[in-house]
Amino acid sequence: MSAHTIAVVGVPNVGKSTLFNELTGLQQRVGNFPGVTVEPMVGSLRDGSTSLTVIDLPGIYGLTAASEDEQLTIDVLRGVHPSIPRPDVIVHVVSADHPSKCFGLFAELSTLGIPMIVVATMVDAVKARGGVFDDITLHHRLGVPILPVVGTKGLGMGELRDALFSHAAVTPQPVDVGSSTVEARAAWARTILDDVVVQGRADSTTMWLDRIVLNPVGGAAVFMLVMALFFQSIFAWAQPLMDGIDALMAVVSGTAAQLIGNDLARSFVVKGLIGGVGSILVFLPQIIILNVLVTILEECGYLARAAFLVDRAMGVFGLQGRSFIPLLGSFACAIPGIMSARIIPSYRDRMATIMATPLMTCSARLPVYTLLISSVVPAVTIIGGFSLQAVVMAGLYVLGALSGLLVALVLKRTMFRGAVVPFMIEFPPYRVPSLRSIGVTMIHRTRDFITTAGTVILAFSIALWILTELPRTQPDASMTELQQQQQQLDNSFAADLGRTVQPIFAPLGFDWRITLGVLSSYAARETFVSAMGQIYAADVAESDAPLRDVLHEQIPIRTGLSILAFYAFALQCISTMAIMKRETGSWKWPALAFGITFVMAYVASFVVYNVF
């Protein structure tokens, strides 16, 4: 069996990943956004005893890199990458509707001395609009095989497979364009393509839609509508699913509790393990919905336009149009938000954006806000018929967004100082997104979340169990179950910790019980709600009132507002920090984000506590 390696190479946005999926059957996404492929995906092709390795490399425009992704591709092609072998064959994917930039890359690739096959996508679209794509003449001019395919329909894949297995690839004559400039390559491409590739009529649907979508008035309306739908789906549609997962986990832990006799083992399985798994699963509906929405917006071509529309507004905070996508996603959860920051090519802009994401009001803050607002903010109507509680809630969202953008601005003026980065983006034609691609993305991102964030959450949840459930106390048979739980918590390591740490939080008006609740949120913010439920269990049991009424009695208004201020700013999410570390390559950045947000949270709480 020969170790034959094939690299799929092309400029961004030509259907490279779709071709790779169709060819190898391995699942990977295709995006309308340039540079969406970050880690190279590897697939294999088998024909009897012969096996070929196919690598999908990030898109490039030439052999000079502008980003890390591009550097990877170039290193692999030059054979200097430490882990990925130099390919034996290049499958160069070109798009018939954007031929000049694609064949500009061909001139560069031809100098590598690697056998090539050129695969042309969008030939059907060009011909449908009355254009010409003469693959035979092109083959004679370039000297390598040219295969037209329709990636989304799988047409031409058999021919490509046959060509790869029969070693049909040909090493082209190195193209000499005179000088090594983009200009010279473009000029060469034009002569090569002359009379061979002719565009037909313009894509009138895209032009017509852009007249509305990119128009200042119509664009703003469409933008608002898309955003409204976005938030509606994340919050309203995810809720029943999240409730369902909670209910399911309750059944599972109930069953487990009955099956396990030993008190300590039961507590570990029910609260540590099942509780931990539950807190991972409960995130999934929002993460899946968010990813599906972002993928749809991206694939249909809207995200590039949205980035264009908000570029000016983001510029006020030192960011650029592309920063908008990660920040928007962070309203559901900072984890997918940080992951999507990869689309920002400028390192400084990307880092400033990542540092701002934890301050966007994520969905995990919502249960905390809901509990505290209903406990401490009077349910009165203020001027204009608005409920004061709703106004406080909306205010916290605005506060989060503004403070995040201000953090980005300050960082761009200090640590990530540099010249204003120009913005450039190619508008892809509008397309109907492929269901397959959406499904693949969903599976990919979900798996990514479970492996990266899930393991951290589970570990933290077990650590939290050790802190709150050990050392064991002897239950007093005369006490109710809730009172026993509270007695257990009162004597746990966590209570000791809460009492030890409490002096730090005393200026914010937190007693040791609130301190304990806040500390427990460092696993995941919404843990605060269940922790408060446990901490105040006895009071709830005695008065038979809901938790929020108990808190209303126990927590002064100014302390309640102080806790709200703390949660609005603090980065209390170990999974966000884990993802930040992975995306930035160093624990330095999550540590810095943690520090900045802690100081902001502390100062804000202190001010709120002392003003009210």
Partner 1 sequence: MTQLLQHLPVGTRCRVVSLEGDSAHTRRVMELGMVPGVWCTIIRKAPFGGPLEVALEVSRLGVRPTNDLRIYVEA
Binding site for partner 1 (CB under 8 A): 11, 61-62, 64, 66, 97-101, 104, 182-183, 186-187, 199, 206, 210, 214-216, 304-305, 307-309, 311-312, 315, 320-321, 419-427
Q: Which is nearer to partner 1, 122 or 396 (CB)?
A: 122
The identity of residue 504, as a single letter, is I
Q: How far is the CB of 235 from partner 1 (least distance, A)?
A: 30
- At residue 64's C-alpha, the angle toward residues 60 and 65, to 5°, is 65
Question: Smaller CB distance to partner 1: residue 421 or 479?
Answer: 421
The answer to whether 408 and 349 have CB atoms below 8 angstroms apart is no
Q: 315 vs 475, which CB is nearer to partner 1?
A: 315
360/340 Cα distance (integer angstroms): 15
CA dihedral 322, 324, 330, 331 (to 10 degrees): -160
- Which CB, 216 or 261, lies closer to partner 1? 216
Query: Considering only CA atoms, which of 498, 449, 211 is closest in space to residue 329?
Result: 449
Output the smallest distance, CB 214 to partner 1, in A: 6
Residue with tokens 């007249």: 211
CA nearest to 315, candidates 424, 420, 426, 425:
420
When the beta carbons of 189 and 564 are compared against partner 1, the nearer one is 189
CB 489 within 8 A of CB 534: yes
Between 43 and 301, whose beta carbon lies closer to partner 1?
301
SS3 559: helix
Going by their DSSP bridges, the two strands 41-47 and 4-10 should be labelled as: unpaired
* Closest distance of CB 554 from partner 1, Å: 50
Query: In which element (H, E) is residue 116 found?
Result: strand 116-121
Residue (243 or 426) nearer to partner 1, CB:
426
CB of 419 to partner 1, least distance (A): 5
> Which lies closer to partner 1 via its Cβ, residue 113 or residue 216?
216
What's the min distance (Å) between Cβ of 188 and partner 1?
11
**Cross-strand pairs, 41:** 56
Which residue shows structure tokens 């914010």?
508
Nearest of 518, 451, 444, 520 to residue 280 by alpha carbon: 451
Q: What gap in Å lies between CA 252 and CA 270, rounded to an integer?
A: 9
Q: Is the C-alpha dihedral spanning 577, 578, 581, 582 positive or negative?
A: negative
Residues 6+ apart with CB under 8 A from 65: 71, 73, 74
Closer to partner 1 by Cβ: residue 88 or 311 = 311
Nearer to partner 1, 313 or 504 (CB): 313
How far is the C-alpha of 199 from the C-alpha of 201, rounded, in Å?
7
Q: Which is nearer to partner 1, 14 or 564 (CB)?
A: 14
Q: How many CA atoms lie within 13 A of 347 on its CB side?
A: 10
Quickly list H helices, 214-237: 216-232
540: Cα within 13 Å, side-chain hemisphere: 17
> Least distance in Å: CB of 322 to partner 1?
10
Minimum CB separation of residue 80 from partner 1 in Å reads 21
Is-contact 415 408, C-beta < 8 A?
no
- The least distance separating partner 1 from the CB of residue 209, rounded to whole angstroms, comes to 12
Tell me the closest approach of the beta carbon of residue 378 to partner 1, in angstroms: 40
Nearest approach, Cβ of residue 59 and partner 1 (Å):
11
CB of 533 to partner 1, least distance (A): 49
Residues 6+ away with beta carbon under 8 Å from 499: 512
